[in-house]
């Protein structure tokens, strides 16, 4: 799979809009949702929103190791992130917001989201025979939103990926369709707050399906309308 620099920027900007409402992304955005383990509250942070119970510790470790302005503040927190709940720690959340304007954090987030999400998404595409920039967008969005291409969703349709003889267009259309249905109808009696949040994210699949329908395989048809925001570069 060959993705140009311009296509990569566009893919990231669309997903940034999904996450923070801005193509560039809000590097200091801090949100708190009751979508953690067993319905617990957790912080999500950064331009593409990594979670406290997920990979936030990796991002903050990178920032501390690179000598960010708030490195000394964050250093004592490193053993706690992901283990000790921090959603009510106002000082920690304030420092996260402030760090979002630090050039070291901006560089750390760009590196982190590339290494932990974009590169694995492209590797998955290549392993499964996908070649288009639109496929990269669909897969990267799933990696950011769900951590992977979810196997239980793949089991809900019959088309094989291109590497196994399937058609790329058909696979993408069917995957986005079942993902949209899953998001729209998600229920979790043990975590109704998380379920409600997921049901509100169908704007992602609406955008992706619109690009599939207009066959925007190389993402050259601009702008792309992402949750009401026009993305052109």
Each residue's pLDDT tens digit, 82-130: 999 999 999 999 999 999 999 999 999 999 999 999 999 999 999 999 9
User: Which of the four pLDDT bands, split at 50, 70 and 90, describes residue 38?
Assistant: confident
Section 180-201 average pLDDT: 94
User: Which pLDDT score is estimated for 88?
Assistant: 97
Domain range annotation of the chain: 5-231
User: Which pLDDT score is estimated for 226?
Assistant: 98
Question: How many Å apart are CA 114 and CA 132, to the nearest integer?
Answer: 18
Question: How many Å apart are CA 95 and CA 114, to the nearest integer?
Answer: 23
User: Which pLDDT score is estimated for 96?
Assistant: 98
Whether residue 65 is predicted with pLDDT greater than 90 in this model: the reply is yes
Q: Please name every residue paired with 44 in a beta bridge, in sequence order, or none if there are none.
A: 31, 51
User: Which pLDDT score is estimated for 149?
Assistant: 97
Percent share of the chain, pLDDT over 90: 96
User: Which of the four pLDDT bands, split at 50, 70 and 90, describes residue 188?
Assistant: very high
User: Which pLDDT score is estimated for 210?
Assistant: 98
Percent share of the chain, pLDDT over 70: 100
User: Which pLDDT score is estimated for 66?
Assistant: 98
Closest CA to 78 of 44, 113, 52: 52
Section 59-78 average pLDDT: 98
Section 197-204 average pLDDT: 96
User: Which of the four pLDDT bands, split at 50, 70 and 90, describes residue 190?
Assistant: confident
User: Which pLDDT score is estimated for 39?
Assistant: 87
Sign of the CA dihedral running 190, 191, 192, 196: negative
User: Which pLDDT score is estimated for 211?
Assistant: 98
Each residue's pLDDT tens digit, 73-93: 999 999 999 999 999 999 999
* Class in CATH terms, 5-231: mainly alpha
């Amino acid at each position: 799979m060959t993705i140009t620099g311009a296509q990569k920027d566009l893919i990231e900007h669309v997903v940034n809009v999904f996450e923070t409402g801005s193509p560039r992304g809000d590097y200091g955005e801090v949100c708190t949702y009751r979508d953690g383990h067993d319905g617990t509250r957790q912080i999500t942070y950064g331009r593409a929103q990594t979670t406290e119970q997920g990979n936030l510790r990796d991002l903050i470790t990178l920032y501390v190791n690179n000598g960010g302005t708030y490195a000394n503040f964050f250093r004592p927190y490193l053993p706690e992130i992901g283990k000790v709940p921090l959603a009510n720690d106002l000082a920690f959340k304030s420092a996260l917001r402030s760090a979002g304007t630090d050039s070291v954090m901006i560089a750390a987030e760009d590196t982190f989201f590339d290494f932990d999400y974009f590169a694995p998404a492209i590797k998955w595409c290549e392993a499964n025979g996908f070649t288009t920039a639109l496929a990269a967008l669909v897969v990267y969005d799933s990696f950011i939103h769900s951590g992977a291409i979810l196997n239980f969703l793949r089991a809900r349709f019959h088309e094989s990926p291109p590497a196994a003889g399937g058609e790329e267009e058909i696979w993408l259309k069917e995957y986005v369709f079942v993902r949209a249905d899953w998001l729209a109808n998600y229920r979790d009696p043990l975590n109704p707050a998380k379920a409600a949040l997921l049901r509100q994210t169908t704007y992602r699949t609406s955008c992706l399906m619109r690009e599939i329908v207009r066959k925007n395989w190389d993402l050259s048809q601009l702008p792309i309308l992402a949750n009401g925001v026009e993305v052109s570069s």
